[in-house]
């Protein structure tokens, strides 16, 4: 049974029993505690906590949720049952059925006849575990389902008490295991051997709420949830192992094809998937990480140095590294990505639409990392050379950590190359530094978690009094004050000077979302005026007005008037509509792979981030600006349509990756097919109202992500007026017409370059004029002509190298050594060591002598036997360095 069919059977089983099928949420949710969705229940957390009422008429839902867990990336592939990406099939009850209903439905699907939609597992091979004191669950299993008592085992909190690992819902659980047979381990149930007995389903009886704490059992139980709920999770990949008759999750129809391709491109055989052979682990890393990286890119993440982007970068680089260590030459990512997209598309059809973009992101990172490997190899060789030069045999943990942390050079390759060079690596020191880094990261993460505001103060408003937004139709509304919040606590009144959050039943003020900043305005009642500086959403339903009481006072229950600042709204609408024009123009110029990665617009200004690997040319930027302004000139009507998500997509409307849309979505259409996007923001009614659009430029904001910035409306006019005045000023200075300025500036630039070239040549001749005097002062040290000189302050490293090269040439066939140093304009101490060919034949090396100089000027150097250079920080040590070189020549 293929994985796609396993998913379908699960969904149909629960739909037929009254559950509403809910599509998988994006891996990226607006949850400050999570980088990625890591459990099937995460999208349902507000319903379990009682923050929101579940939108399911029968109070039951089912989903196949995409999940990613990244805490133990380094352990992937060592065991054959865990993946970083996995699919969690779940059924959920919000105050409907509880333990008995959950157990019955799980059992009927697992053991049900295949012809009737079940999985057909042998009941005699199923074992269950329950929480230590959960007699109710044990009784249901034994008395109602008929599982013998000897196949029901009790485990403690570490195994059979579930939470997300952070504050939120929790409760005891009951797990279902499948006995794979004696060939996989010893008898005795899950307690005896969790390899033979594979966990396939976890039934969580969610009835408590936990507080802060670390670990699986070290947390406080805050109390009961408002209702007893059910959250279950069936591991799709593990069930696939059983139903496909394979040994592990890497042998299923989803991942084995990637391993087959890896065998082909590396020339290495994946031999025994149940052993910990290092090569087999690398194959599993390639398969696992290819799928995880692909799914993360699908949901809009691009490689970067922090957060989700850093996780993605690590995954992609581990794929490349593993393939290289298996023997791959050149690029392999395209084969891996195409293969995993083929296996996953039946379950996720949206992959087909994004195939080109996914490939582009992955291949760009591969190209960048291969360059890193090349430069890292050079850095390793320098470090290893210094170790050998000093008579050592071990590369320090600090050197290995620097290569890994600063330059992205993997420790596996460092170990391999050190072995080839006859060196060892201080692995203990390396891992100690890594552990310190992880500890710092965890401490920072905990600090950030504790820094998040407690949203429980808004809970009753989210469910009982969601805000009615009237801002699409009007700029002022009559409202009632439902709540006041100051310093995180509900209060009954606010006085003049107070900064307070105001919750209204009705508001025309737009709350920040979709890249558009919240409206500015006022809340007024009689002599009371509150200045609204920001509006934010809580739980997607509640508008929170952050305001200052400028005069008078406000009491909960007051009738007020909420007013939008019309100038702010007008300019904000212009910028948001201009963002849509820029997006459409981008896709027209660059093609469909230029996908939105984020945006921000405020009155008169917008920035638009998009996934694209190459910098845009001036001609492309000019095209984008021209197309946008042609749309303004066309005076197209801007239409908004409310419809279902499916119908919106059928119309061709674009959706933003990582965004979770409700059943009813709002489509903003400008010029028919020109621009059609899902958007909840405010817009002009005709494109001409946007005014001129002025593109400021574009830049990189991360690997594979570019950013365009632009002005709209009056801000655009002001910018263009300023630019015109600047050009006219330059034209006046040049005594030329405006259209002649580029040509005249180009001519002046060329003259400047020629002048600089002449000056450089004069400087070189002046510099070399002193070499005769330096040669005259050469010392004869043990038959070697030793030329040394501390040059005047301000002499640069390139000047020292020019001098050293000339001095070596003038020494001719004599054995000679040149040592030059100076303090440059930035108070650094560059130095150069040159050795003639005859001196090299006698055993001297510029690279080794540069290491000697570096010790005395508080720096280091490197290079080749004939020429080496370096930099230090202490010019006062140069004379000692010269003496040390003289001593080295004498020895």
Annotated binding site for Zn(2+): 576, 580, 679, 683
Of 762, 825, 756, 771, the residue nearest 796 (C-alpha)? 825
Residue 724: is it exposed, middle or buried by C-beta count within 10 angstroms (0-12/13-18/19+)?
exposed
Q: Diameter of the chain by CA atoms?
A: 106
Nearby residues of 580 by Cβ (< 8 Å), 6 or more positions away = 668, 670, 675, 677, 679, 683
**3-class SS of residue 354:** coil
Q: Helix (H, G, I), strand (E, B), or coil: what is residue 431?
A: helix
Contacts of 652 (CB under 8 A, 6+ apart): 673, 676
Taking phi over 0 as left and psi of -120 to 50 as alpha, with beta for the rest, 52 belongs to: beta
395's CB contacts (< 8 A; 6+ apart) are 383, 384, 387, 414, 418, 423, 424, 425, 426
- Mapping DSSP to helix (H, G, I), strand (E, B) and coil, where does residue 544 land? strand
SS3 621: helix
CA-to-CA separations, 607 to 70, 578, 681, 718, in angstroms, rounded: 31, 10, 15, 18
* HEC per residue, 43-82: HHHHHHCCCCCCCCCCCEEEEEEEEECCCCHHHECCECCC
Token pair, residue 761, equals 């040549």
| CA dist., res. 873 & res. 856, Å (int) | 10
**Closest Cα partner for 353 from 593, 552, 185?**
593
Q: Please answer whether residues 307 and 296 qualify as being in contact, where contact means their C-beta atoms are separated by less than 8 angstroms.
A: no
Ramachandran angles phi, psi of 148, nearest 5°: -60, 145
Strands (E), 593-726: 595-602, 605-611, 638-644, 664-670, 675-678, 693-702, 705-712
The set of residues, in sequence order, having a beta carbon less than 8 Å from that of 55 and lying 6+ positions away, is none
| Binding region | 576, 580, 679, 683
Is 444 in contact with 437 (CB distance < 8 Å)? no
| CA proximity to 786, closest of 885, 662, 659, 650 | 885
20-22 and 60-68 strand pairing: parallel
Sign of CA dihedral 431, 434, 436, 441: negative
Q: 383 CB contacts (<8 Å, ≥6 apart)? A: 395, 399, 403
Q: How far is Cα 842 from Cα 814, in angstroms, rounded to an integer? A: 11
Residues with Cβ within 8 Å of 391's Cβ and at least 6 positions away in sequence, in order, are none
Chain centre to alpha carbon of residue 681: 26
């Amino acid at each position: 049974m293929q994985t796609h069919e396993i998913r379908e059977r699960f969904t149909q089983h629960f739909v037929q029993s009254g559950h509403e099928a809910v599509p998988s949420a994006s891996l990226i949710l607006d949850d400050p505690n999570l980088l990625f969705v890591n459990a099937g229940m995460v999208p349902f957390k507000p319903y379990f906590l009682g923050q929101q009422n579940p939108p399911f008429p029968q109070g039951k839902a089912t989903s196949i949720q995409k999940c990613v867990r990244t805490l133990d990336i380094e352990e992937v592939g060592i065991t054959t049952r865990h993946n970083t990406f996995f699919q969690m099939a779940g059924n959920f009850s919000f105050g409907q059925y509880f333990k008995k209903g959950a157990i019955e439905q799980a059992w009927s699907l697992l053991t049900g006849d295949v012809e009737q939609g079940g999985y057909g597992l042998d009941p005699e091979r199923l074992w269950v575990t329950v929480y230590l004191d959960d007699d109710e669950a044990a009784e249901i299993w034994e008395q109602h389902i008929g599982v013998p008592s000897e196949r029901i085992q009790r485990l403690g909190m570490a195994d059979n008490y579930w939470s997300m690992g952070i504050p939120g819902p929790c409760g005891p659980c009951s797990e279902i295991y499948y006995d794979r047979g004696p060939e996989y381990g010893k008898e005795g149930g899950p307690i005896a051997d969790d390899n033979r007995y594979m966990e396939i389903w976890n039934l969580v009886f969610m009835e408590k709420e936990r507080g802060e704490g670390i670990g699986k059992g070290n947390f406080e139980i805050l109390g009961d949830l408002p209702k007893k709920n059910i959250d279950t999770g069936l591991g799709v990949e593990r069930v696939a192992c059983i139903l496909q008759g394979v040994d592990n999750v890497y042998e299923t129809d989803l991942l084995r094809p990637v391993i087959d391709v890896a065998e082909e491109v590396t020339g290495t055989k994946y031999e025994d998937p149940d052993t910990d052979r290092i090569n087999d682990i690398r194959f599993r890393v390639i398969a696992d990480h290819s799928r995880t990286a692909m799914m993360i890119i699908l949901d809009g993440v691009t490689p970067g140095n922090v957060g989700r982007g850093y996780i993605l970068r690590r995954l992609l680089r581990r794929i490349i590294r593993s393939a290289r260590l298996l023997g791959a030459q050149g690029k392999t990512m395209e084969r891996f990505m195409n293969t995993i997209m083929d296996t996953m598309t039946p379950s996720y059809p949206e992959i087909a639409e994004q195939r080109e973009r996914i490939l582009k992101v992955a291949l760009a990172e591969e190209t960048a990392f291969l360059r890193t490997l090349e430069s890292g190899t050079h850095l390793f060789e320098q470090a290893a050379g210094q170790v050998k030069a000093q008579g050592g045999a071990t590369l320090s943990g600090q050197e290995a950590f620097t290569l890994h942390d600063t330059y992205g050079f993997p420790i596996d390759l460092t170990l391999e190359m050190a072995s080839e060079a006859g060196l060892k690596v201080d692995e203990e020191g390396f891992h100690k530094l890594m552990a310190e880094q992880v500890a710092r990261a965890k401490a920072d993460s905990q600090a950030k978690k504790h820094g998040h505001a407690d949203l429980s103060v808004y809970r009753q408003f989210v469910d009982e009094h969601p805000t009615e937004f009237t801002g699409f139709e009007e700029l002022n509304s009559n409202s009632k004050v439902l709540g006041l919040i100051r310093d995180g606590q509900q209060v009954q009144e606010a006085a003049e000077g107070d900064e307070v959050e105001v919750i209204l039943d009705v508001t025309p003020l737009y709350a920040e979302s979709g890249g558009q900043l919240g409206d500015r305005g006022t809340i007024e009642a009689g002599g009371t005026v509150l200045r609204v500086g920001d509006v934010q959403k809580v739980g997607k339903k509640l508008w929170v007005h952050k305001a200052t009481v400028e005069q008078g006072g406000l009491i909960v229950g007051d009738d007020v008037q909420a007013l939008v600042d019309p100038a702010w709204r007008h300019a904000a609408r212009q910028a948001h509509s201009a963002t849509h024009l820029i997006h459409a123009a981008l896709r027209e110029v660059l093609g469909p792979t230029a996908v939105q990665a984020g945006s921000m617009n405020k009155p008169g200004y917008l920035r638009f981030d998009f996934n694209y690997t190459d910098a845009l040319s001036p001609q492309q930027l000019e095209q984008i600006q021209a197309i946008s302004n042609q749309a303004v000139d066309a005076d197209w009507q801007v239409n908004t349509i409310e419809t279902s998500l499916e119908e919106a997509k059928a119309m061709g409307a674009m959706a933003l990756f990582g965004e979770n849309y409700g059943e009813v979505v709002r489509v903003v259409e400008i010029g028919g097919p020109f621009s059609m996007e899902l958007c909840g923001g405010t817009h002009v009614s005709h494109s001409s109202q946007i005014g001129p659009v002025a593109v400021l430029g574009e830049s990189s904001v991360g690997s594979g992500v570019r950013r365009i910035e632009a002005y709209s409306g009056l801000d655009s006019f002001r910018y263009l007026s300023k630019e015109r005045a600047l050009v006219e000023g330059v034209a006046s200075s040049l005594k030329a017409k405006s259209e002649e300025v580029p040509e005249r500036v180009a001519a002046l630039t060329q003259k400047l370059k020629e002048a600089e070239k002449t000056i450089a040549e004069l400087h070189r001749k002046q510099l070399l004029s002193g070499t005769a005097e330096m040669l005259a002062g050469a010392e004869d040290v043990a038959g070697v002509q030793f030329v040394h000189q501390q040059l005047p302050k301000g002499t640069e490293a390139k000047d020292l190298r020019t001098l050293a090269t000339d001095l070596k040439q003038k020494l001719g066939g004599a054995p000679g050594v040149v040592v030059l140093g100076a303090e440059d304009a930035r108070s650094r101490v560059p130095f150069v060591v040159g050795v003639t060919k005859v001196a090299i034949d006698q055993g001297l090396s510029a690279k080794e002598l540069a290491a000697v100089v570096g010790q005395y000027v508080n720096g280091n150097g490197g290079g080749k036997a004939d020429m080496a250079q370096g930099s230090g920080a202490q010019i006062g040590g140069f004379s000692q360095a010269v003496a040390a070189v003289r001593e080295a020549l004498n020895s």
